Amino acid sequence: MGNEVGVLQKIDTLNNSVSQDEADNWATAMLSHCEDVCPGKFHVNGVDHTHWFADLGFSRQNLGQAGSATVVHCYAYWTGALDHYRYDQVGNLHLAEYMVELAHAYQASDRRAVWVREVGTSSEWMPETYISQYATTLLENAATCQNLWGFTWWCSHDIDPAMKGFLSLEYTLGVFDQQNRVKPLGKTLSALAEQWRKNPPAALSRSTALVIPDKGFSKRATWPIGASRNNTWTW
C-alpha cells in the first residue's frame, strides 16, 4: 500500500499532520478495502523506520497488526544507527535483526510474518570493499529471527547521473550498474540466496526479552541531511 507514505506526514510545508488515531484508522480501512478487492493477497503498509522510532503517524501497534505482514526498513544511516555505532559494529550489523524483533513485540500473533522490505547501504556510509561483507553479516543475523517473510535489498540498479534531483548516495545503491552488469554486491547476494535455497537458515529461539516502556518517544525521527538525527531511547 504505497511506499513510505508516512513521509508525507513529515514534510511540514505540506501541512499533512495527522493524529495516530487518524493514521491508524486510514491504514486499517485501506488494508481492509484491499482485502475486499483482492482477497487472500499480500497486503501491507510499506512504512519507513520513522513510526517505529517516533510517535508520528501510524502507531507501532497498528503496524504490528494491520494487513498481511509487518514491514520494517532498516537503513543504518536513515535510522540514526551510524550516529552511534561504526558501520562494522554490533549496532549496525544487527540492525535488521533488532528491527524484526522490535516488530514482533507489537504483534498480536506470534505467527505473523515480518518483511524486511527495504535494506541497503552506500559507499558514503562505509568502504566500498566492505559492502559485501556488511550485507552478508546483516542478512545472516536477521535470518535467525522467527517468522521472517523475506528481504528486499534496495535497489536493483545504479541511477544514471543524467537523472537529476537525487541525493548523491542514491546513484550507486544498485546491485547492477548502469550497463546492467552485476556488481560484487549483486554476486554476493545471489550466492547467499542460492545457499539459503539449498539450506534455509535456522531461526533461533529468543528466551530473554528486554522490556522498555512504550513512551518517551520523540515526535520527530528524521532531520535535514547533515544535522544530528534521532537520539531517542532506542539508542
- Measured CA to CA, the distance from residue 24 to residue 66 in angstroms comes to 9
91 pLDDT more than 50: yes
Return the top range by mean pLDDT from 3-7, 167-171, 183-187, 201-205. 183-187
Q: Could you tell me if residue 84 is inside a domain?
A: yes
Least confident of 45-59, 148-162, 178-192: 45-59
pLDDT at position 223 is 41
Q: Could you tell me if residue 126 is inside a domain?
A: yes
Q: Could you tell me if residue 151 is inside a domain?
A: yes
Q: Answer whether 114's CB lies under 8 Å from 70's CB.
A: yes
171 pLDDT more than 90: yes
Beta bridge partners of 148: 114
Q: Which residue range forms the structural domain that includes residue 158?
A: 5-198
Q: Could you tell me if residue 48 is inside a domain?
A: yes
201 pLDDT more than 90: yes
| CATH number of the structural domain spanning residue 175 | 3.20.20.80
Cβ contacts of 207-211, under 8 Å, gap ≥ 24: 209/105
| Helical ranges in the chain per DSSP H | 20-37, 50-53, 60-63, 90-93, 95-105, 131-142, 184-198
Q: Could you tell me if residue 210 is inside a domain?
A: no
Beta bridge partners of 182: 176
- Measured CA to CA, the distance from residue 135 to residue 155 in angstroms comes to 13
Beta bridge partners of 118: 73
pLDDT at position 138 is 98
pLDDT at position 218 is 63
Q: Could you tell me if residue 166 is inside a domain?
A: yes
pLDDT at position 212 is 76
Q: Could you tell me if residue 66 is inside a domain?
A: yes
pLDDT at position 233 is 40
Q: What is the mean pLDDT of residues 104-118?
A: 95
Q: Answer whether 144's CB lies under 8 Å from 204's CB.
A: yes
pLDDT at position 220 is 56
Count the domains in the chain: 1
Look up residue 11 and give its three cell numbers.
Answer: 514534510
Report the percent of the chain where pLDDT is more than 90. 74
pLDDT at position 227 is 38
